[in-house]
Copies of this chain bind each other. A is one copy, B any other.
Amino acid sequence: MTYFRVDYKNAKKFCEESFIRVGFSEEESQIISDVILLSDLYGIESHGLQRLKMYQDNIKSGLVKVDKKADVVFETPVSGVLDANFSIGHLASHQGMSLAIKKAKTTGVGIVTVRNSNHFGIAGYYSKLACDEGFLGLAFTNSEALMVPTFGILPMLGSNPIACAMPADPYDFFFDASTTVVTRGKLEVYKKLGKPLPKGWAIDQDGNISSDASEIIDNIKEGRGGGILPLGGDNENLGGHKGYGYGVLTEIFSSIISLGMTSNQCLKGDVDGCCHGFIAIDPNIFGDSKLIKDHLSNFLQELRDSPKAQGQDRIYTHGEKEIIAMKDRLDNGIRINEKTMNELYDLASNLNIDIRAYFKERLE
Contact residues of A with B, CB < 8 Å? 74, 76-79, 81, 107-109, 111, 113, 136, 148-154, 156, 162, 164, 166, 173, 175, 177-179, 181-182, 198, 200-201, 203, 206-207, 225, 231-234, 237-239, 241-246, 248-249, 251-252, 255-259, 262, 264, 281, 283, 285-287, 291-292, 295-296, 299-300, 302-303, 306-310, 312, 314-318
Contact = CB atoms under 8 A, between A and B. Distances in A.
Given A237-B198, A241-B318, A316-B150, A248 B81 contact: no
A237 to B, nearest CB: 6
A108 B79 contact: yes
A183 to B, nearest CB: 11
Contact of A239 (B108, B181, B207, B292): B181
Nearest to A108: B78
B296 A256 contact: yes
A295 to B, nearest CB: 6
Nearest to A180: B239
Contact of A111 (B241, B281, B292, B308): B281
Given A79-B108, A245-B177, A308 B152 contact: yes
A242 B231 contact: yes
Contact of A303 (B156, B166, B258, B296): B156
Q: How many copies does the complex hold?
A: 2
B285 A78 contact: yes
A249 B139 CA distance: 13
A156 B303 CA distance: 7
24 contacts: A78-B109, A78-B285, A107-B107, A111-B285, A136-B257, A149-B306, A152-B308, A152-B315, A156-B302, A164-B252, A177-B241, A177-B242, A178-B242, A200-B238, A231-B242, A231-B243, A241-B318, A244-B318, A248-B300, A248-B303, A256-B295, A257-B283, A262-B295, A262-B302
B302 A173 contact: no
Contact of A78 (B107, B245, B287, B292): B107
Contacts of A233: 238
Contact of A207 (B113, B181, B206, B310): B310
